[in-house]
Amino acid sequence: MLIDLQRAMLGACYGDARAFANALPFLRPAAVPVDKALFIHTATVTAALTGVLAQAYPAVERAMGADAFAEAAKRHLRAHPPGPAMLSAYGAGFGADLTGELPVLAAADWAAHLAYFAADAEHVGLDALAAFAPEALASLRLPLVPSSALVAGPLGALAGWCEGRADISFVAAPLPLLGPDAAVLIWRGPDLLVAATLLPSDAGGFVQALGEGADLLTAAGHLSDAGALSPLLALLLGHGLIAAVTDGDPS
Amino acid sequence: MRPPAHPPTFPSLADAAGVGLRHLHVPDFLTAKQPVGWLEVHAENYLVPGGPRLAQLEKLRQDYPISFHSVALSLGAADGVDEIHLVRLKALYARFEPAMVSDHLAWTGLSGTHVPDLLPLPLTPETLDIVAGNVARVQDALGRRLLVENPSVYLRFQEDQMEEGEFLSALVARTGCGLLLDVNNLYVSARNRGQDAARLLSRFPGDAVGEIHLAGHASLDIDGATLLIDDHGSAVPDPVWALYDLATRYFGPRPTLVEWDTALPPLPVLLAQAAKADAVRGAALC
């Protein structure tokens, strides 16, 4: 039955030794030994998915080195083979098995990867606030564009990530960074380029709250200095991060 | 749905060879009109929610006919095609209105697990039933003819009962699908199976061929035996050009595409291969 052969070959492709052995009797002997011919497919699958992960996690690969990354990728792809045939969405959990600062780098890499492929969306600029009376500002909601994401972690690791990602457009931090922790805000700008900036942790909390639908007053409650609000709004509205400005409850 | 017996013709596509569009070359195409007849993209690379890739393709389709070549319909899967993948492809094709759509005589997943490789099939009546059912399902869903590509194979099965040309002829007869003749695949498979490529070509159901692919391959030495690998990483080699010349003489002019996927050269090198395809086809038809 074809399905028996396919079950065996599927396992063989993902490194299952028993499945590999089960597939061999289906094969006709030839000049190239059948186990070596079958292994071509195992190697192709490993190389293809390692490449997919390397494309999604360039900072992790650079930090680990190519050989260690390839070993980690092989473990991941064998434990978590792709479901849908949309490889741009493959690898979400790769960082979970990493240690040290690597999970932070992985989270930032994955956020940048998702930002690149995120759904297109309209955005509003600084003039969007002009339509509202000053007394209405506190209750405004500013949902973020779907490409945006925040990753929190040690300032040193996040700053290193920013320096290593030459493919990303970096915006100067709008507020002083005091550490030891921070957040990196990642999004895809109107020019379709992925961009990022570093924020102090409390500013990260502000942006996170906006993204979750909080009104401006509630979100600003995360800030330790009210003076941070103005530069943060300038950043968000000036770089295409806000999808709309509304004065109603999103629910 | 059973499409008409003969594939639709695309005269403009048959006049000048196309090239497979790869991300590295996209800026070249966006900044200047390039001398190619058409472009082919891997459909799965564009199954994304949004972003630059889709925007770039929207621009390019204004200047070039586009063909979509998918690699993951899994036409040979014993448990059927992935319906969710099929729905996604249908939406993509509705958006970009490609001149042709194609996939492979292969399987790329089972039971909800995807395999990023074109895995071979034993050529048996059971496989024919399965592939014919899957191709019919895809054509029904897409509402159009699918071109099915002959694969490169590195192994044979104990159960093999048919030659590839015989299998594909039966598939065309049962589903009305078209064929994508990959001349490099035909050569690679023939060499790996110890068969004569020209003989296999003469038995290929040429009336159904709606597109031809050309590419390069690598050679691997394994225990003193040579295995050709379809890596699309070099120029089209002379034996493949010779088969293309033969195919053109047998079947007439067909839309022809040059693929180059690994160790990508600068675009002018790829364009020169497309120009050579035009020259070979022109000479064959004189």
The pLDDT, as a whole number, for residue A131 is 86
Give yes or no for a contact between B276 and B236, defined as CB atoms under 8 angstroms apart: yes
- Contact assignment for B110 to A31 by CB distance below 8 Å: no
Q: What pLDDT was estimated at residue A179?
A: 80
List chain B residues with CB under 8 Å of A1.
78, 126
Hey, are the CB atoms on A33 and B222 less than 8 Å from each other?
yes
Dihedral sign of CA atoms A84, A89, A90, A93 in order:
negative
Query: With contact defined as beta carbons under 8 Å apart, do B236 and B199 qualify?
Result: no
Report pLDDT for B254: 94
Contact A40 B154 (CB under 8 A): yes
Give the distance from residue B283's alpha carbon to the nearest chain A alpha carbon, in angstroms.
Answer: 37
Q: How far is CA B156 from CA A28, A31, B121, B194, in A?
A: 5, 11, 9, 11
Contact indicator for A82, B116 with CB cutoff of 8 Å: yes
Average pLDDT over residues B107-128: 97
CATH of B11-285, one of 3.40.50.1220, 3.40.1360.10, 3.20.20.150, 3.30.710.10: 3.20.20.150
- On whether any CB of chain B is under 8 Å from the CB of A88, the answer is yes
Q: How far is CA B107 from CA A47, A193, B120, B204, B235, in A?
A: 18, 36, 7, 21, 27
Average pLDDT, chain B: 94
What is the Cα–Cα distance from B52 to B224, expressed in whole angstroms?
47
Chain B residue with CA closest to A9: the answer is B119
Given this model, what pLDDT does residue B244 score? Answer: 98
pTM higher than 0.90: yes
Distance CA B41, CA B45 (A): 8
- Does the CB of A152 have a partner CB in chain B at under 8 Å? no
Compute the average pLDDT of residues B186-205. 96
Domain ranges for chain A, please list them: 2-98, 117-238
Query: Which of A1, A4, A5 would best serve as a mutation to test chain B binding (most B beta carbons within 10 A)?
Result: A5
Which stretch of DSSP H or E encloses residue B147? strand B147-149
Is residue A152 very low, low, confident or very high in pLDDT (cuts 50, 70, 90)?
very high
pLDDT (tens digit, 9 = 90+) per residue, B73-116? 999 999 999 999 999 999 999 999 999 999 999 999 999 999 99
* SS3 state of residue A170: strand
| DSSP for A106-121, written as a single string | HHHHHHHHHHHHSPP-
Q: Please, which residues 38-57 of chain A have a Cβ atom closer than 8 Å to chain B?
A: 38, 40-41, 44-45, 48-49, 52
Question: How far is the C-alpha of A206 from the C-alpha of A222, rounded, in Å?
Answer: 5
Contact B51/A118, CB-based, under 8 Å? yes
Cβ-Cβ contacts under 8 Å for A97 (sequence gap 6 or more): A72, A75, A76
**Domain residue extents for chain B:** 11-285
pLDDT score of B2: 45
- pLDDT over 60 at B276, yes or no: yes
Distance CA A43, CA A77 (A): 12
CA distance A185 to B219: 47
Both tokens of B53, joined, read 């890739």
Of B97, B139, B125, the residue nearest B7 (C-alpha): B139
Over residues B180-187, mean pLDDT: 98
ipTM comes to 0.93
Question: How far apart are the C-alpha atoms of B102 and B98, rounded to whole Å?
Answer: 10
Helix ranges, A57-174 (H): 58-64, 66-79, 102-117, 155-164
Q: Inspect the interface and report whether the beta carbons of B194 and A118 lie closer than 8 Å.
A: no
Q: Do B154 and A41 touch (CB under 8 A)?
A: yes
Decide if A17 touches B, using CB distance below 8 A.
Answer: no
**What is the predicted pLDDT for the residue at A144?**
98
Are the CB atoms for A209 and A224 separated by under 8 Å? no
User: Which residues of A, range 55-84, sit inside 8 Å of B by Cβ?
Assistant: 81-84
Pick from A101-105, B7-11, B187-191, B240-244: least confident = B7-11
| Residue B156: φ, ψ to 5° | -120, 165
- The arithmetic mean of pLDDT across residues A186-193, rounded, is 96
Rounded to an integer, the average pLDDT of B63-68 is 96
Mind telling me how many Å the CA of B274 is from chain A's nearest CA?
27
R_g of chain A, CA atoms, integer Å: 23
Q: Check residue B12 and give its pLDDT.
A: 67
Contact by Cβ (8 Å): B255, B100: yes
- Longest Cα–Cα distance in chain A: 82
pLDDT digits (tens, 9 = 90+) for B216-257: 999 999 999 999 999 999 999 999 999 999 999 999 999 999
Would the CB atoms of A116 and B78 count as touching at under 8 Å? no
Backbone angles phi and psi of B63, in degrees to 5: -110, -20
Contacts of B193 (CB under 8 A, 6+ apart): A30, B153, B156
Confidence bin at B1 (pLDDT 50/70/90): very low
Which of B73, B104, B117 to mutate: most A Cβ within 10 Å?
B117
pLDDT at A249: 55
Phi, psi for A193 (deg, rounded to 5): -90, 145
Q: In the structure encoding, which two tokens stand for residue B95, read together? A: 């958006």
Confidence of residue B7 (pLDDT cuts 50, 70, 90): very low
pLDDT > 60? residue B261: yes
Q: Is B74 left (phi over 0), alpha (psi -120 to 50) or beta?
A: left
Alpha-carbon distance B263 to B216, whole Å?
11
Mean pLDDT of chain A: 96
SS3 state of residue A206: helix
What is the per-residue pLDDT for B281?
93
pLDDT of res. A87: 94
pLDDT score of B233:
95
